[in-house]
Copies of this chain bind each other. A is one copy, B any other.
């Protein structure tokens, strides 16, 4: 039987795990410094919790779990009237936001609000696999729920900046506000088409103004409205210039003006923090796909001369009523989600992992195995090294020296310890530096000090 794994899924080797853990740990450290607390939810959710939350397209991409027991009986009974829902009650989570909303409602009596939670777990989507898009991938989310203060948005922007700075990746943090988009739709007399407009505008970066206009018209947006929108696609300049443009454009829209005010408040907070505004980009065509956003929206793109990546590495925003679908209305939340698989690819392209000292988790010294007698002596040395928290291994068989050295090389173990007859008699053990090839003799106590990190 030829072993295989499902398409769109991956194994992670020890080297990959060390790098992935570095990214996860970096994000975790920042989240905790900002007072976020970790939760975990099950991989499986009841389908009634998931269906209808991600649009029609999302429903199709849910991985459904076959009910236990013999489903063929069910099939024979129902025959042509059988539906997928007769075969499956559970599905794998599609993101971490909907399970979080479900969690908040189920545990609302134990939670003190505002609740700052973070969550780092895999999600599953039956997407067509392609380069950089997987069917199983990790999300790393932070959300504040139960507070509508824009201070939360400011803190999330700081978190984003802190994480990418710790990872040494240059980025551009794009922000916008859904109320501005709603205001635009209103001003154009197309308030009922806000979703179509949002979806179309969201593609501006990818397909250009020409194609966006086509899509708008095909969705029934009037020629007049499309015409009026064009200045929006070409607003240039700094943030205050863009805001001044919007002040005029949205003068007659209350919701639009509210959106502008929210952006100004957020920028004001960041100003107080002497936030590096070069990172920030008010992008009034940024829309984000998911329709539950109601206020601020965020997206991060890599903006670094060392990288060719242009895809988004983070998304997020404010949702005013996510828990409403589960029976708890009027709880506002705002959150972000790091895409660590893409961040990994970016760091790999930029050679960032090589510059980090990520070898720590692996073994510091390998004890060569010379056979039964020496082995027992070596074991007592090994025990002392480990008791001093030095990561150490003994080769488990008395294999040929060449093989044991090749093992040390393969695992990039920096030192090898040789304990033969002479060493056992003198108590002075031979340490070989695998990089320089140098050998030196030391007593155990001395080794413990030398090899300690």
Contact = CB atoms under 8 A, between A and B. Distances in A.
A6 interface: yes
Contacts of A299: none
* This protein's copies in its complex: 2
A4 B49 contact: yes
A147 to B, nearest CB: 4
A394 B33 CA distance: 12
Contacts of A392: 33, 35
A361 interface: yes
Q: Is the interface of A mostly helix, strand, loop or mixed?
A: mixed
B66 A39 contact: no
Contacts of A18: 38
A402 B290 CA distance: 37
A376 interface: yes
Contact of A379 (B84, B110, B269, B362): B269
Interface in A66-114: 66, 68, 70-72, 75-76, 80, 82-84, 87-90, 92, 102-103, 105-107, 110, 112, 114
Interface stretch (A7-15, A344-352, A433-441): A7-15
A149 B396 contact: yes
Given A87-B87, A136-B43, A5 B151 contact: no
Interface range, A side:
35 or more
A32 B326 contact: no
A312 interface: no
A416 to B, nearest CB: 13
A14 B33 CA distance: 15
Contacts of A380: 272-273
A135 to B, nearest CB: 8
A424 interface: no
A273 B379 contact: yes
A12 B118 CA distance: 12
Nearest to A407: B112
A277 interface: no
Interface stretch (A169-177, A219-227, A383-391): A383-391
Contacts of A17: 37-40
B3 A136 contact: no
Contact of A76 (B80, B152, B155, B391): B80
Contact of A106 (B11, B42, B68, B361): B11
Interface string A391-413: 11111110000000011001100
B122 A43 contact: yes
A25 to B, nearest CB: 11
A9 B44 contact: yes
B136 A6 contact: no
Contacts of A114: 395-397, 407
Interface string A23-37: 000000000111101
B397 A6 contact: no
Interface in A41-74: 41-46, 48-49, 60, 63-66, 68, 70-72
A147 B14 CA distance: 19
A5 B376 contact: no
Given A35-B391, A269-B376, A273-B379, 14 more contacts: A1-B325, A6-B89, A6-B90, A11-B42, A17-B40, A34-B393, A35-B363, A35-B392, A35-B393, A43-B122, A66-B88, A151-B379, A151-B394, A273-B383
17 contacts: A1-B48, A1-B325, A1-B326, A2-B327, A3-B49, A3-B327, A9-B44, A11-B39, A33-B389, A35-B391, A37-B362, A37-B411, A66-B84, A66-B88, A112-B407, A152-B396, A272-B380
Interface of A: 1-6, 9-14, 17-18, 21, 32-35, 37-46, 48-49, 60, 63-66, 68, 70-72, 75-76, 80, 82-84, 87-90, 92, 102-103, 105-107, 110, 112, 114, 116-117, 122, 124, 126, 135-136, 144, 147-149, 151-152, 154-155, 269, 272-273, 325-327, 361-363, 369, 375-376, 379-380, 383, 386, 389-397, 406-407, 410-411
